[in-house]
Amino acid sequence: MKQPAAHGIDPKLDLVLERVIDIPPDKVWAGWTRPAMIKKWFTPAPWQTVDCTIDLKPGGLFYTLMRSPEGQEFSNRGCILEVVENERLVMTDTLGPGWRPMAGGFFTALVLLEPHGAAGTKYTAIAKHADEAARKKHEDMGFHTGWGKALDQLVALVKSG
């Protein structure tokens, strides 16, 4: 029997962004778990994240409100599935707070952090999709470019202050 790839990644269904960045895991973790920080980096410029609420526990809310340069707003509401401080954050938009199923869910996100060198992090973001069409849609929306640019913004934010 074929063994599943690391973290259950299926290249037909999942997208992966993996990089080594020169900030420590605890700083990356803070960027992903503090609403005030999320609002400063989470959405690739010129878009903005104008609101964020995080109830950092399994079953808790992960909510962002993004605004386009033209002023159009897009809300994203999901459920946190797993929290391992400074190592692993898993969330999905297929469930809402308290594990309530939600219509129209799109993907589950895993953010994995591993120490790298003296003060760096091996950063892995995985977007898991239910089918190939959803994966393709997310890729065509600019997953790698958008998530990469957002990560660059997080690194710059941490280094600036």
Amino acid letter, 32: W
CA–CA separation, 153 vs 38, rounded Å?
10
Q: Which domains does the chain have, with CATH numbers?
A: 11-160 (3.30.530.20)
Q: What is the pLDDT of residue 53?
A: 98
Average pLDDT over residues 141-155: 96
pTM, 2 dp? 0.93
**Strand pairing class (48-54; 88-92):** unpaired
In this prediction, what percent of the chain has a pLDDT beyond 90?
91
Residue 1 has pLDDT above 80, yes or no: no
Distances (CA, A) of 50 to 47, 109, 146: 9, 21, 17
**pLDDT tens-digit map of 53-90:** 999 999 999 999 999 999 999 999 999 999 999 999 99
- The residue that leads in pLDDT, 56 or 103, is 56
**pLDDT tens-digit map of 117-147:** 999 999 999 999 999 999 999 999 999 999 9
Confidence of residue 8 (pLDDT cuts 50, 70, 90): confident
CA–CA separation, 40 vs 146, rounded Å?
15
Q: How many residues does the chain have?
A: 161
Q: What is the pLDDT of residue 6?
A: 63
130-134: long-range contacts at Cβ-Cβ below 8 A with a sequence spacing of 24 or more?
130/13, 131/13, 132/12, 132/13, 134/13, 134/106, 134/107
Decide: helix, strand or coil at residue 72.
Answer: coil
Residue 92 has pLDDT above 80, yes or no: yes
